[in-house]
């Protein structure tokens, strides 16, 4: 199993109960309100409306992967190159159908702060919830921008 591509989020993943994380500072918790959504590109439909994609947990580079692996006890011992090759195959796979998907980069500091805030153990479930929240935040921002950019409808009188 991949150490991170299980970050495809479902509502079932959001319903899990999480245990408290011990030894985190309050300052770290306050520093991160929600997962960063800035780097997530929300796809736009042919009508110009944002489409909510599936989020896939991603690691930008080997150092980031190793840092998250050190934080999460459930990550496999596979090296970054093996994870990346398998993750890319899954991401590009035909089983997604026409559903758009986006890579959500997870960093150890951001995940650790998110886990502390949500009293979650840093594991696959926490990574899934983190990815889900990041996609939700990016989608809401794209939808808000779409609505703000729409021209008001003009009604024709007959």
For the stretch 27-32, contacts whose Cβ atoms lie closer than 8 Å and that sit 24 or more positions apart, written own/partner, are: 28/109, 28/112, 28/113, 28/116, 29/113, 29/116, 29/117, 31/113, 32/110, 32/113, 32/114, 32/117
Residue 128 inside a domain? The answer is: yes
Phi, psi of 135, rounded to the nearest 5 degrees: -65, -45
Residue 53: half-sphere exposure toward Cβ, Cα within 13 Å: 23
Strand partners, 119: none
Residue 154 in any domain: the answer is no
Greatest pairwise CA separation for the chain in angstroms: 70
Which tokens is 107 given? 């960093």
Residue 150: inside a domain: no
CB of 108 within 8 A of CB of 6?
Answer: no
Question: Could you report the per-residue pLDDT of 13-35, keeping only the tens digit for each?
Answer: 222 322 222 233 332 223 334 46
Domain count, the chain: 1
The owner of tokens 């990815």 is: 131
Residue 36 belongs to some domain of the structure: yes
- Digits of tens for pLDDT over the chain (158 positions)? 344 433 332 222 222 322 222 233 332 223 334 465 667 888 888 888 899 998 999 999 999 999 999 999 999 889 999 999 998 988 887 677 788 889 999 999 999 999 999 999 999 999 999 999 999 999 999 999 888 886 555 555 54
User: Would you give the distance in Å from CA 78 to the centre of its chain?
Assistant: 21
Rounded to whole angstroms, how far apart are CA atoms 69 and 145?
36
In a domain, 126, yes or no: yes
Alpha-carbon span 25 to 113, nearest angstrom = 9
Residue-number span of the structural domain to which 40 is assigned: 5-145
Do the domain assignments include residue 153? Answer: no
Spell 107-121 as b/e; 16+ CB within 10 A means b.
bbebbbbbbbbbebb
Tokens (6 digits) for 152: 């008001």
110: in domain:
yes
The pLDDT tens digits of the residues spanning 127-149 come to 999 999 999 999 999 999 888 88
Asked if the structure places residue 151 within a domain, the reply is: no
């Amino acid at each position: 199993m991949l150490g991170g591509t299980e970050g495809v989020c479902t509502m079932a993943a959001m319903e899990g109960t999480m245990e408290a994380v011990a030894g985190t500072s309050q300052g770290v918790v306050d520093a991160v309100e929600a997962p960063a959504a800035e780097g997530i590109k929300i796809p736009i439909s042919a009508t110009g409306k944002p489409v909510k994609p599936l989020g896939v947990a991603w690691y930008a580079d080997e150092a980031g992967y190793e840092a998250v692996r050190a934080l999460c006890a459930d990550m496999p011992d596979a090296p970054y190159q093996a994870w990346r090759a398998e993750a890319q195959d899954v991401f590009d796979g035909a089983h997604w159908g026409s559903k758009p998907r986006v890579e959500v980069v997870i960093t150890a500091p951001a995940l650790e702060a998110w886990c502390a805030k949500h009293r979650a153990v840093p594991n696959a479930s926490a990574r899934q919830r983190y990815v889900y929240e990041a996609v939700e935040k990016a989608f809401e921002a794209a939808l808000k921008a779409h609505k703000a950019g729409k021209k008001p409808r003009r009604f024709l009188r007959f």
